[in-house]
Chains A and B, each alone.
Chain A
Amino acid sequence: DVKVTQSSRYLVKRTGEKVFLECVQDMDHENMFWYRQDPGLGLRLIYFSYDVKMKEKGDIPEGYSVSREKKERFSLILESASTNQTSMYLCASSPVAGGLAREQFFGPGTRLTVL
């Protein structure tokens, strides 16, 4: 079974802190994604990566950065956390099969609260 794990289920940080959210997948997937999910807004893509050291901005990259030094690990960084970044953060990965990316596999999510 594909497994996507995230470093924390719940996290509480203070405004201005630097926050690292870690995601690891164990199926050698090429693509990895970071989303945030907020009530009434659905799922929104922050960043994604299709290869080591490669990254692409999603729909809402402002206030975030990412790092992918190894294929299995994709980190989301909040350089200076703000209260409007309080959210559920979801990591996902997907393989590229036959030249087409297939379904995405999600981690359990990290519920981040910024005070």
Chain B
Amino acid sequence: DAKTTQPPSMDCAEGRAANLPCNHSTISGNEYVYWYRQIHSQGPQYIIHGLKNNETNEMASLIITEDRKSSTLILPHATLRDTAVYYCIVRVAPNFGNEKLTFGTGTRLTIIP
């Protein structure tokens, strides 16, 4: 699986959009970008994933650059409950025998009141 690089920490004002970057310059054509987050003292929570097109769900939007070497997770209206560590993961589509997730150290996002 391709390696990812994320800033160790970020702050965002409550109510503003939080934009979390991720670099994955060695991504392969068959690798997806996944985002999870982990709120303090809880298990990780899936947010969104994509291959090459931008994706949006009820939690966030994922913007993947055309060359797929980087992506941005957008939380459109950040709340205090969005304070968490956010993990960007690049991996092949999970299939039989290859389902494991490998988290790096992620970005610690702090939402400021």
List residues of chain B with CB under 8 Å of any chain A CB. Answer: 34, 41-46, 49, 93-97, 99-106
Contact = CB atoms under 8 A, between A and B. Distances in A.
Contacts, number: 65
Contacts of A108: 41-43
Contacts of B49: 103
Contacts of A96: 96
B101 A56 contact: no
Interface of A: 4, 31, 33, 35, 37, 40, 42-45, 48, 50, 56, 58-59, 90-92, 94, 96, 99-109
A100 B91 CA distance: 13
A106 B45 contact: yes
A99 to B, nearest CB: 7
A103 B1 CA distance: 16
Given A40-B105, A100-B94, A94 B43 contact: no
